[in-house]
Amino acid sequence: MSDAIASFVPATSRVSVLPIYGGASFVPQLRGLERGAQVVVGTPGRVIDMIERKALKMEELAFVVLDEADEMLRMGFAEDVETILASTPATKQVALFSATMPPAIRRVADTHLTNPVEITVARQSSTITSVEQTYAIVPYRNKAEALARILATSDVDAAIVFVRTRETAEEVGAALAATGVSAASISGDVAQRDREKIIDRLRGGSVDVLVATDVAARGLDVDRIGLVVNFDVPREVETYVHRIGRTGRAGRTGRALTFLTPKEKPRLRTIERVTGSRLTEAVLPTRLDVVAHRVGSSVAKAEERLAQGRLSVHRERLEQHAAQTGTDVLDLAAALLALSVGDTGGPVEAEVQLADHGRENRFERDGERGGRDRGDRFERGGQRGDRGGRERGGRPGGSSDGNRYRIAVGHRDGVTPQGIVGAITGEGGLRGAEIGKIDIFPSFSLVEIPLGLDSDSERRIGAAKIAGRQLRIKADSGPPARGPRDRHDGDRPARRPRTYAH
């Protein structure tokens, strides 16, 4: 962003644009502020740090711009934004930019903007029309294999794979690298300095596949991107448009492929309706297709080498070896070709049908990593004769081998187990399978997370909101065996918790 702003500043101007962000040394940023900067572009945390150090002086501030407002609030930076705005003069002008306008963003606008004028930029279809949009119905367990085959049979220069969480980005990036793909992953947890290095490698060609979360990919502009893969289907259609807009630029034609689990099929129609585009179903490559593509590439390279000449010495060696061993020269050439495409002669694996339009196994992870479509992963206690797993004289939900956490939302907030899992997986980078039993009380809930949470995950999850209330997650020390009554309903005993077994 700072580079984009600086590009509009004439070289003869004395206007200085300074980026300040976490993950980088304070020293050059402090020096830049001491020298004086007319425009400061910063992340909320580092801006607050500089204000507290009195290095960033706000008294004469004239303009405040909140960019990517929806993403900042979604990531739990609402309090930081409020802290920053509270330190600015009342005479400032405020501009708020947001890809979407949910109620939370409108509340910020109503609070901090005076008589605001709302400007809506119409969606431009030029980028969408230059992108060939396809989809595939793939159970989560088959996504990584499907992605590897798509990339193995694609001739695009470079690709971006969009995922929902940091954990998925790391898993997918590692899986691709293990197959020999030149891949790297970025997420919101990657320091800005490291992110810039990875993007430079993508531009330069030393990285061909970038696996990224939406936050980390904001503002990314690389011309060589020929394919965008939505490994996890986005929640918002606007996010879908932003993602596929990374390809099909500068008059080029791009490709976009979206993976949907069987339960996510209704989202396909939503995307088509809102974008006015028709997505065609992609035919996923088989293992034989991958081999055939590799063979074709190897033969094409061999023909290029053949055109260069100077092969007599190698031809003589082949003929000599064939004569000595009685091997047919064509068989020998076929063996060399097989080795060049990774065929070492092991047993042929049975073909796996990757696409599946049927309903997934109820214990299958979906592409949302805990989104709303996970409802059938949970079962109400008592419906299977276990009365919610309660043990006499024990804590709600029975004993647990894992860590239990308390969050500050319950029945009265309209919370659902799907919402809780979605918040924890989305902000904490966990898999749905790593979350255990959930007990929902009137004013709070208890969640089992067997592997526990580190402090950074607790902070991110705690800042997330459900039904407008922060989760404020913390380790639960455990109520007494016969816990006190919940007095919020008068003197009536507290409602028994609703227990959801994962």
**Greater model confidence, 238 or 402:** 238
Residues 96-111: tens digit of each pLDDT: 988 777 777 788 888 8
pLDDT category at 430 given cuts 50, 70, 90 is: confident
What pLDDT score does 123 carry? 57
pLDDT band at 358 (very low <50, low <70, confident <90, very high): low
Please state the CATH superfamily assignment of the domain spanning residues 2-112 in this structure: P-loop containing nucleotide triphosphate hydrolases (3.40.50.300)
pLDDT interval class at 74 (50, 70, 90)? low
Full DSSP string of 135-160: EEE--HHHHHHHHHHHHHT---SEEE
pLDDT band at 357 (very low <50, low <70, confident <90, very high): low
Cβ neighbours of 254 (radius 10 Å): 20
Identify the bridge partners of residue 257 per DSSP, sorted by sequence position: 134, 229
Identical fold for domains 2-112 and 372-501, yes or no, is no
Tens of pLDDT, residue by residue over 219-255, are 788 989 999 999 999 988 888 998 998 998 767 789 9
pLDDT of the residue at 369: 41
pLDDT bucket at 502, cuts 50 / 70 / 90: low
Q: What confidence score (pLDDT) does residue 371 get?
A: 39
- The residues facing 254 across adjacent strands are 131
Q: Per mean pLDDT, which of 68-72, 211-215, 247-251, 357-361 is the most reliable?
A: 211-215
What pLDDT sits at residue 137? 95
Alpha helices in 53-153 (DSSP H): 69-74, 78-86, 103-112, 125-129, 140-152
Does position 153 have pLDDT exceeding 90, yes or no?
yes
CB contact at 8 A, 262 and 366: no
With a pLDDT cut of 90, the percent of the chain lying above it is: 33
Picking from 345-354, 380-389, 452-461, which range would have the lowest pLDDT averaged per residue? Answer: 380-389
Dist CA 153 CA 296 (whole Å): 10
Which comes out higher in pLDDT, residue 469 or 145?
145
Whether residue 364 has pLDDT greater than 70: no
Q: Which of 178, 139, 138, 185 is nearest to 160 (CA)?
A: 185
Distance (Å, whole) CA 259 – CA 135: 6
Least Cα distance to 192 among 1, 460, 430, 426 occurs for: 1
In 3D space, the residue among 360, 455, 384, 378 whose CA is nearest the CA of residue 422 turns out to be 378
Cβ-proximal residues to 376 (8 Å cutoff; 6+ apart), any chain:
263, 362
What is the C-alpha separation between 448 and 468, in angstroms, rounded?
A: 23
Taking each helix axis from N to C end, the angle separating 329-340 and 312-325, rounded to the nearest 10 degrees, works out to 120
H or E stretch including 91? none
pLDDT digits (tens, 9 = 90+) for 48-58: 999 999 999 99
CA 241 to chain centre: 15
Which of 302 and 341 is assigned the larger pLDDT? 302
359-367: average pLDDT: 45
- Go through the chain and tell me how many residues it has: 502
Predicted confidence (pLDDT) at residue 489 exceeds the cutoff of 90: no
443 three-class SS: coil
Whether pLDDT at 360 is above 70: no
The pairing of strands 474-475 and 403-407 is antiparallel
pLDDT for 496 equals 52
pLDDT at 308: 92
Q: Could you say which DSSP state residue 342 is in?
A: T
CA dist., res. 42 & res. 22, Å (int): 9
Query: Is the pLDDT assigned to residue 61 strictly greater than 70?
Result: yes
For residue 122, what pLDDT is reported? 65
Q: Where is 44: in which H helix or E strand?
A: helix 44-52
Whole-number Å distance between alpha carbons of 208 and 215? 20
- Angle of helix 417-428 relative to helix 455-463, nearest 10 degrees, comes to 130
Could you give the residue ranges of the DSSP H alpha helices within 276-385?
A: 287-308, 312-325, 329-340
Please choose, from the candidates 230, 267, 260, the residue with its C-alpha nearest in 3D space to the C-alpha of residue 137: 260
Q: How confident is the model at residue 420 (pLDDT cuts 50, 70, 90)?
A: confident
Secondary-structure class of domain 125-286 per CATH: alpha beta
Task: Give tens-digit pLDDT for 285-310.
Answer: 998 898 898 899 889 999 999 999 99
Q: What is the pLDDT averaged over residues 322-332?
A: 91
Residues with Cβ within 8 Å of residue 320, at least 6 apart in sequence: none
- Whether the full predicted model's pTM is greater than 0.85, yes or no, is no
Segment 7-49, tens digit of pLDDT: 788 877 888 999 998 878 889 999 999 999 999 999 888 999 9
Confidence of residue 491 (pLDDT cuts 50, 70, 90): very low
CATH 3.30.70 describes domain 372-501: yes
> Could you give the percent of the chain with pLDDT greater than 70?
83
How far apart, in whole angstroms, are the C-alpha atoms of residue 319 and residue 210?
45
Listing from the earlier edge strand, what are the strands of the sheet with 379-380?
379-380, 498-501, 438-440, 445-449, 403-407, 474-475
Give the domain ranges of the chain: 2-112, 125-286, 288-340, 372-501
- pLDDT of amino acid 485: 38
Most confident of 234-238, 351-355, 412-416, 498-502: 234-238
- Closest alpha carbon to 450 in 431, 460, 435, 472: 435
